[in-house]
Amino acid sequence: MPSYVLIVDIFGLVLAVIGFNMAFRQIAIRRRFGLPLPPSAQLREQNDNADPLTYIMRIAGVMVMIFGIVIGGAMTLLNLA
């Protein structure tokens, strides 16, 4: 397998890990970048106003994760064909 395929696969893996953390481990990402932590579950029930940053990070994280998987998989499959 050529080295450029491995480089693209590693890049896709990095994107997938970053996207997974953005989507499902938001507190760690928020702490790393200094973003406000999400309100507790009790406050969310009382105010009925969910934190919009939560949904933005979920959508963007899933998009980045899928992009990394598709780029790495497509490059590998095209090279194997």
Give the tokens for residue 36.
């406000």
Predicted pLDDT at 48? 52
**Average predicted confidence (pLDDT) for the chain:** 87
Tell me which residue of 56, 55, 38 sits closest to 47, measured CA to CA.
38
Confidence of residue 66 (pLDDT cuts 50, 70, 90): very high
CA distance 38 to 57: 12
User: What is the mean pLDDT of the segment spanning 11-20?
Assistant: 96
The range of the structural domain enclosing residue 45 comes to 3-80
Q: What is the mean pLDDT of residues 9-33?
A: 93
Q: What percent of the chain has pLDDT above 90?
A: 58
How many domains is the chain built from? 1
pTM of the model: 0.80
Residue 21: count other Cβ atoms within 10 Å of its Cβ: 17
Q: Examine the pLDDT at 41 and tell me if it is beyond 60.
A: no
- Asked if the model's pLDDT at residue 80 lies above 80, the reply is yes
